[in-house]
Structure 1
Amino acid sequence: MKMSLTDPFLLTPAEAAAADRETDASGIPIFHLMQQAGFAVAAEALRHFAQAERFVVLCGPGNNGGDGFVAASALRRAGANVSIHLAGRPEELTGAARLAWLEAQTPAQSFSSYQPHPGDVIIDAIFGAGLSRDVPPEVTDLITRVREVGCPVLAVDLPSGIDGLTGQVRGAAFQAQRTVTFVARKPGHVLMPGRIYCGEISLAPIGMPTRIARRHARTVSVNDPRAWKAAINVQQGDTHKYKRGHLAVFSGGPSHTGAARMTASAGLCAGAGLVTLASPPDATLVNACAMTAVMVREIADLQDLKMWWASGKISAAVIGPGFGVGEGLRSYVHASAARPMVLDADAITAFAERPDELFALAAGSEPRQILTPHEGEFARLFPDLAADKTIGKLERAKRAAERAHAVIVYKGADTVIAAPDGRLLINENAPAWLATAGSGDVLAGIAGANLAQGIPAFEAAAAAVWLHGEAGNKAGVGMTAEDLIRHIPAALEDLLSWCRL
């Protein structure tokens, strides 16, 4: 089994600042952390940019600039050609950054005086993770000049211009080839587009005790098995199909059955003991001819559905893929509201004009619904949150989950999983080729299978998103949704083997 798991531990910029202060108060000075950070940057520069004719260190007025001063001094001692450019005047520096400047004993030039040349390697130590406003014009101009010449950029903590909390570009940002960060990654390293702007990321220890850092990490983590391993059902020798749950998937009409069939097949491959495709009468023959291990049951109307639910044989449901938008779908959701349920695609759009009706169905109970909107569906269901440019994807997902009383899987290259109680995970294992028709239907089926097996909604959603990404990696470039389904068992075997450890 080969499984690469990066450290899920993330610190928001505010949490990182609080951890710095506690570390300083514990007897480990900020200046010591700064020195270790600067040494790590210099080592990274020498290791990966040996071809540099000159290292140009761009220093901001805060602690990120202090890291840059230390790195410049270390590079000069190593025999490198180094030039320092500073935002503002040296006499305006304070605290540990001023100490680092005094130790550097090197004159600094202004940003405006720097003209990039081929052969320069930029060490970007201007702003780091704490940036929460647009970069000033002089930095925008500098970014433009560096980009035009094509100088490689090594970013300190985060590329200047990337918001450390949201991953968004604040006006303009350096495109780094590599980024060195410290103690833990920030959300801006994992969220888009920050993830792309960072290039390759190295995580350097700088002497901060892990116990202090982890004490302040309260907001968000990367989505990987360590976040939900305890909730996963590792199959034992005495298991049988009824113990593994019975998943219902609802099909659309005769010309719209493909999405639901993919959802049902994915649910079966992902571990549900039984899967039944609930089919309208005019689509029953189409579905029956196409399915083998998945059962097909004719559900003609709401009365049929209520009788099926009353039988007590269904553990969870997925509704939405290919179903069609309208009152019929909403009535099915109302009739199914007491069950664990994944609402995907049409089931989200159907409530776009009356979202409070949907949210009221899950109020006052443990979350049992998983909503899986992509960007457009999220905007339809939560238009005010989608339009609020003052908040990032994490905050939008968090508020949406609280409002909906449901787990939100806010899909994209940086899918965010949010629980009504405030838990947040960012997924990062999904390959770009998952962006293909039917991929979301497969994800809904995996999540439904997890719910059917009794996994709580947040953990069911998070595990489904991760497994979906792993199956995509195994399927490879050019995969289709059908390929993705075929690779679920191998990804699941890797996951279960890891969970047994």
Structure 2
Amino acid sequence: MLTISQMRAAEAEAINSGRVTGFELMERAGAGVVAAMAERWPGSDGITAAPYAGQIVLVLCGPGNNGGDGYVVARRLAEGGADVRVLALGDPAELKGDARLAFDAWQGATGPFTRNAMCAIADEAVARGQDWLVIVDALFGIGQRGPLDKVTDPVGALIDHMMGGAGLAPFTVAVDLPTGYDADTGEALARRPLWADLTVTFHAPKPVHGMPHFLDTELVIVDIGLPQ
């Protein structure tokens, strides 16, 4: 188990050694998320390699490296045939470093991070006959700081819209950890933190993953090639 500072130090040591670039780590992380999703896709037989093909998938990307992971996830899902809808928190043109590289590689459309945009995507999924809408939470990861109500409230409104009779069930995948929690302490950083059905983290679990409020969430740890 690694704290935020320990995880960042492990990544920095690997990058500074020249063994791997930050973008390569991001690519491995995104690929690992998609692989974990494919194995657990709601309604899937567990055999189909790309059970998301033809389905609308919502990817929420933040303004940093966690968002960069999200753009990698979006690109790889689209390459597998998914109808990926990306909504960006903040202006993607202001992304820096590896996250900007991931955004540029995505090349797909990016919409606004608003309740109306989210609910419109859910309504389209209903019209398509989908039973589930898979939502990827790639907003902040381990680096989040509160308060985050302005971020979590629109997503909460989307969940309420879906559960209020739309006939569409949410399945949320958190990249590193759900938005609205401190990775070291488990402290809630919003009045309504986001829920995850599946959390995919990298290299090692973080302290928050072992806390009681996450015991009902499946956790997958992806090896991204950092030294043990």
- State the TM bucket, normalised to the shorter chain: 0.7 to 0.9
- Alignment partner, residue 131 of structure 1: 144
- Alignment partner, residue 173 of structure 1: 193
CA distance in 1, matches of 2:154, 2:212: 23
Kept in 2: contact 1:57–1:68 (CA 8 A): yes
- Alignment partner, residue 186 of structure 1: 206
Q: What amino acid is the match of 2:221?
A: L
Q: What amino acid is the match of 1:19?
A: A
* 2:141 pairs with 1:121: no
Aligned-residue offset at 1:148: 4.3
Match of 2:67 among 55, 65, 73: 65
Match of 1:82 among 81, 84, 93: 84
**Which residues in structure 2 correspond to 1:33-432 (within 5 Å)?**
33-49=25-41, 51=43, 53-112=55-114, 113-115=117-119, 117=122, 119-149=132-162, 150-171=169-190, 172-193=192-213, 195-196=214-215, 199-210=217-228
SS at match of 1:73: helix
Aligned-residue offset at 1:132: 2.8
1:241-270 per-position Cα deviation (integer Å, ceiling 9, x unaligned) = xxxxxxxxxxxxxxxxxxxxxxxxxxxxxx
SS at match of 1:168: coil
The alignment's C-alpha RMSD in Å is 1.6
* 2:11 pairs with 1:20: yes
- Alignment partner, residue 477 of structure 1: none
> What is the aligned-residue identity percentage?
36
Structure 1 residues 165 and 107, CA, compared in 2 at 3 Å: closer, same or farther?
Answer: same
Aligned-residue offset at 1:41: 0.8
SS at match of 2:59: strand
Kept in 1: contact 2:30–2:73 (CA 8 A): yes
1:407-431 per-position Cα deviation (integer Å, ceiling 9, x unaligned) = xxxxxxxxxxxxxxxxxxxxxxxxx
Q: Which has the larger radius of gyration?
A: 1
Kept in 2: contact 1:68–1:123 (CA 8 A): yes
- Alignment partner, residue 48 of structure 2: none
Aligned-residue offset at 1:80: 1.2
Q: What amino acid is the match of 2:12?
A: R
Kept in 2: contact 1:60–1:86 (CA 8 A): yes
CA distance in 2, matches of 1:165, 1:184: 13
SS at match of 1:153: strand
Aligned-residue offset at 1:121: 0.5
Gaps of 5+ in 1: 1-9, 211-501
CA distance in 2, matches of 1:166, 1:80: 36
Kept in 2: contact 1:168–1:192 (CA 8 A): no
CA distance in 1, matches of 2:111, 2:152: 14
Kept in 1: contact 2:42–2:171 (CA 8 A): no
CA distance in 1, matches of 2:118, 2:157: 12
Kept in 2: contact 1:167–1:190 (CA 8 A): no
Q: TM-score scaled by structure 1?
A: 0.38
SS at match of 1:151: strand
Q: TM-score scaled by structure 2?
A: 0.82
1:86-117 per-position Cα deviation (integer Å, ceiling 9, x unaligned) = 10111110010000000111121111122152
- Alignment partner, residue 22 of structure 2: 30
Kept in 2: contact 1:59–1:84 (CA 8 A): yes
Aligned-residue offset at 1:147: 4.5
The alignment of Structure 1 onto Structure 2 pairs a total of residues equal to 199
Structure 1 residues 160 and 147, CA, compared in 2 at 3 Å: closer, same or farther?
Answer: farther
Moved over 6 A (4+): none
Q: What amino acid is the match of 1:205?
A: D
CA distance in 2, matches of 1:188, 1:161: 11
